[in-house]
Chains A and B, each alone.
Chain A
Amino acid sequence: MSKMSEVVQRARAAFNSGKTRPLQFRIQQLEALRRMIKEHEKDIVGALTADLHKNEWNAYYEEMVYVLEEIEYMIKKLPEWAADEPVEKSLQTQQDECYIHSEPLGVVLVIGTWNYPFTVTIQPMVGAIAAGNAVVTKPSELSENMANLLATIVPQYLDRDLYPVITGGIPETTEVLKERFDHILYTGNTAVGKIIMMAAAKHLTPVTLELGGKNPCYVDKDCDLDIACRRIAWGKFMNSGQTCVGPDYILCDPSIQNQIVEKLKKSLKEFYGEDAKKSRDYGRIINSRHFQRVMGLMEGQKVAYGGTGDAATRYIAPTILIDVDPQSPVMQEEIFGPVMPIMCVRSLEEAIQFINQREKPLALYVFSLNDKVIKKVIAETSSGGVTANDVIVHISVHSLPYGGVGNSGMGSYHGKKSFETFSHRRSCLVRPLLNDESLKARYPPSMAKMTRH
């Protein structure tokens, strides 16, 4: 048996022992996870700095806070969510117990990615643990320091058999995908998402795929451009543009393009100074391959700001492109870098049409002071989620499901949705075994009954 098989079999055996069923056990594990985060704060920050040039603030505010709040929320709500849920009875079932019983699925596989390597790996784990599953976690090898850290500290705090962390790259992921899981949650790109779903299909394993797309950001003429541009700049250039729900490109009327450029520049200077390379707060591209890719997208484009990069440090300046041609490469793939193209459209209808001609994105943004505009954009498009008059923040509301649609993904999690995603909701009807008098009418022969119809 391969090492991978051993790890998964051990997790399955541990699950089958019934250890994870009592809520108390699950809560203990979640509390241990919380302790792990608190006791290793510095190490987590260190790993994020090494992998992505994140600073303390980024580490806490953009990663750790999400996980800590999720753990908090989960611990508080678990007794309520795990309880049997009575449902409305029919006339024939008045004397019976009718309810939905939540059960763990078994062994869950969580495959993380590298851009928010702590959050996107641990947050799904929180839900899977709370739902009573064993969880095999595979952090991304591209954020190497985080992967090594998690592989080291998780086993020090959580049950080692139930919650193994496996490391490695494509070969290891391919190997682990041969095993049978009861649910797989993958965060990453569309191409690999298909491979995962294909592998899962062999075992009839349900999947949650958190993928990506080009998240449009429509800026209406009727809006406060100062505020809009500051919020957009914040969300776009955070983590050097490597955010799956970051605004990918701007759609606006040509008459406000220049203003948008000026205000974005103003915000960028406020955030990162004249030379972002010197800012402690500005990120770096994860690796050379992505660096080359993003630099390539700028070629031949009209640069209104930035446009430079330094391969040695994988730094790319905050960049704004204007008068962008929809056919150009920068408009063909998810940018995932600090490059903001601005596309001009002459009307709201044209913006909506542009959006709808493309794959459904993970997130969609619209800035307007006019409620009707916001309502129209939402009503006539589709996306995983939406924030109006801000960016990104819809994913921080626990009671909203976080997930994509179409090419941007399937399924969702966060908060209660995590618990549901990682549970089987089993329909239960329990009747008393009384005599059959009241039920005799349903038995054949049915000839006598037909006259009633």
Chain B
Amino acid sequence: MDPYADTLRRLREAFSTGRTRPAEFREAQLKGLRRFLQENKQLLQEVLAQDLHKSTFEAEVSEIRISESEIDLALRNLRAWMKDEKVPKNLATQLDSAFIRKEPFGLVLIIAPWNYPVNLTLVPLVGALAAGNCVVLKPSEFSRRTEKVLAEVLPRYLDQSCFAVVLGGPQETGQLLEHKFDYIFFTGSPRVGRIVTAAAAKHLTPVTLELGGKNPCYVDDDCDPQTVANRVAFFRYFNSGQTCVAPDYVLCSPDTQERLLPALQSAITRFYGDDPQSSPSLGRIISDKHFQRLRGLLGCGRVAIGGQSDESERYIAPTVLVDVQETEPVMQEEIFGPILPIMNVRSLDEAIDFINRGEKPLALYAFSNSKQVVKRVLAQTSSGGFCGNDGFMHMTLASLPFGGVGASGMGSYHGKFSFDTFSHHRACLLRHPGLEKIYSIRYPPYSPRNLRMLLVAMEGRSCSCTLL
């Protein structure tokens, strides 16, 4: 029994009627999304608090407002984005019309994660809908209460002939992936990313994968430790560390470590108080499995700050580990929790070598008063995105593409990049039906004279001989 066949067929049929093509339809969907957020703000804050102990502030800033601003951006720019993109022509095509037509792919599958279940579901959805696709959404089963809202409340705001929510765990997702989609957008772990791509390969479905990695955070000797500590701590412990772009570990000299530790403690106390467990600003771990995993990591190296945990609440204290070995588990997997290991390096070169020995991360951070140092780290490494002297602020700009490289992912989105990701860019050339004499050089039978003419033209270099 295939539970999805009917739904998918229904959506495909709706797509083939052309329903999603007009700008008015897409605008209506985007406005529906905006109303969903506006009318259910409190409900969403509640379920985010229940799923992840997210503070109202975090929910507002990193989930609701960011989704709203993407919706607004899309609404403001939709018609401009939908327009045919004229391309530069050369001498031979002056009388022709050459442009790129943006077309929806058709049926899109969005698989969303649990850590920012509103943001990482809605922002891709904005792109898919703006581009005119029909969408199947598979929210994460781990953020259970948010999943329920997405499954039961969200569809009421959208045209349900073109949109469906599918629920389930790995088995159901596997079943879903046996079907053909025209595009798959996946946010999650590299392990599952491989499974999704392998399934997509069977149908030649293009994919965007937003994965993860260990995001290095290099802290130079030339810096103000408190400023650095504030920023690193803020971005590390946001959402209790469950952020794909959070600084995963620090690389610095032993001297800088000495200055950083009290600064980090100071920042943590200022942010979360003396008893972080009672702070409304600190999140909780999503599940027992992840809690156990993280608690295991607390045994690595030596706890310099924090280290407490409470199983009943899935609480882990904002923690800093030192004297960590590269081979220990905390340095072998993406942490995805409120634990910050500090690794010592003796020089910038050593830090860069260390970073380049690992997989390309989703984000990379470098803190230094010296712009040269920052630029050197940038130039000699690779990562999805990069921020000098702050945490993941780069992803708040819709004008910057957000995505990974290598093991941290492929493709990107946000702003116009979302629209472009979910569109097929179709090359179009409308040729003049006349002017046959100009083209006649290309027809057989070929004469040495024609060839000589071609070779002379090629020597001239500035012409476009391929269009003769």
Chain A residues with CB under 8 Å of chain B are 16, 55-58, 60-61, 65-66, 68-69, 72, 87-90, 92-93, 98, 100-101, 103, 105-106, 182, 190, 193-194, 197-198, 200-202, 204, 206, 209, 211, 223-224, 227-228, 230-231, 234, 270-273, 279-282, 356, 367, 369, 374, 378, 380, 382-390, 393-403, 405-407, 409-412, 424-436, 439, 442-447, 449-450, 453
Contacts and interface: CB of A to CB of B under 8 A. Distances in A.
Contacts of A426: 382-386, 405
Nearest to A194: B201
A60 B455 contact: yes
Interface stretch (B23-31, B52-60, B154-162): B52-60
B464 A281 contact: no
A179 to B, nearest CB: 15
A382 B385 contact: no
A120 to B, nearest CB: 14
**9 nearest interchain CB pairs?**
A446-B57, A444-B281, A396-B466, A57-B446, A197-B201, A400-B427, A399-B87, A430-B388, A385-B427
B175 interface: no
Most B CB within 10 A of own CB, among A88, A100, A406: A406
A433 B429 contact: no
A406 B271 contact: no
Given A204-B407, A227-B434, A378-B101, A427 B394 contact: yes
Contacts of A424: 382, 405
Interface residues of B, number: 110
Interface of B: 16, 18, 55-58, 60-61, 87-90, 93, 98, 100-101, 103, 105, 182, 190, 193-194, 197-198, 200-202, 204, 206, 209, 211, 223-224, 226-228, 230-231, 234, 270-273, 279-282, 356, 367-369, 371, 374-375, 378, 382-390, 393-402, 405-407, 409-412, 424-434, 436, 439, 442-446, 450-451, 454-455, 458, 461, 464-468
B387 A387 contact: no
Given A98-B397, A386-B428, A388-B429, A397 B93 contact: yes
Contacts of A442: 61, 234
A369 B228 CA distance: 66
B454 A198 contact: no
Given A57-B444, A428-B378, 20 more contacts: A58-B446, A61-B454, A88-B397, A88-B399, A106-B406, A194-B202, A230-B436, A234-B444, A270-B444, A271-B443, A356-B16, A393-B467, A396-B467, A406-B204, A428-B388, A428-B394, A435-B224, A442-B234, A446-B55, A453-B56
A280 to B, nearest CB: 7
Given A426-B405, A428-B378, A201 B390 contact: no
Nearest to B222: A433
A223 B394 CA distance: 53
A410 B467 contact: no
A60 B454 contact: yes
Interface of B is mostly: mixed
A95 to B, nearest CB: 11
Contact of A429 (B56, B386, B444, B467): B386
19 contacts: A90-B399, A93-B393, A200-B201, A202-B194, A204-B209, A204-B410, A223-B433, A227-B434, A374-B430, A387-B430, A388-B430, A397-B429, A399-B88, A427-B401, A429-B388, A431-B387, A433-B367, A445-B281, A446-B55
A429 B16 CA distance: 42
A268 B147 CA distance: 63
B224 to A, nearest CB: 7
Nearest to A68: B458
A126 to B, nearest CB: 14
A408 to B, nearest CB: 9
Contacts of A60: 451, 454-455, 458
Nearest to A16: B356
B272 A230 contact: no
Contacts of A356: 16
